[in-house]
Amino acid sequence: MADKKDQQTEQNVDQTVEQQKAQQQAAQAAEDALQQDAAAAEAETAGTSADQTDKIAELELALSKAEAQVKEQRDSVLRTQAEMENVRRRASQDVEKAHKFALEKFANELLTSVDNLERALQLADQQDESSRNFIEGIELTYKSLTSTLEKFGVKAVGEEGEAFNPDLHQAMSMQESSEHSNNTIMAVMQKGYELNGRLLRPAMVMVARNSDSGVDTKA
């Protein structure tokens, strides 16, 4: 009987040991499974994070390209506007010049008539009563013509007593004079004219000289 009991006890112990081993193996398997699940979850999370990082990088790159394109287009628009403004300003200047100087050739032709009337008045005998009406007619014609020229921007230059200006005057001769300041006009042979500030022809003048310094007749 004792032997049977001992055998039974040993069997029970063996069974208990086997059960404990089985339980340990099951627990280890469960732990291994949990670790695998955790590793898989971590890997999935890492993959998702990497995908999000790539997408963010792509979006940032696309935004940068869009901003660069907008800046380039804005600069192009500004350049176009500046070019249009320059073209408009040049066209306006050309039109203004055309208006100002369209009469240049015509005015030059009329100056010959003005010169002839001036010579006629200079040569006329102011003391001759028989020629008085004729002289007055010449004077009226001369004043009317010069007044019309002035209305259209034609202005005479070169008057006795003015300082010599090589940009406006042409020195035909120089003469010693104590009555005039050095480098001043003492006589006008032919008046000069300008059209809206542009010289049509220089005045032909005689320049006074009362020292050894001479006169600057060059522009």
Per-residue pLDDT tens digits for 92-131:
887 777 766 778 888 888 899 999 998 888 887 777 777 7
Report the amino acid identity of residue 58. Answer: E
Q: Evaluate if pTM is beyond 0.75.
A: no
Three-class SS of residue 128?
coil
For residue 151, what are the β-bridge partners?
none
Q: What is the 3-state secondary structure (H, E, C) of 149-215?
A: HHHCCEEEECCCCCECCCCCEEEEEEEECCCCCCCEEEEEEECEEEECCEEEECEEEEEEECCCCCC
Place of tokens 């804005």: 74
The Cα angle at residue 164 between residues 163 and 168, in degrees rounded to 5: 120
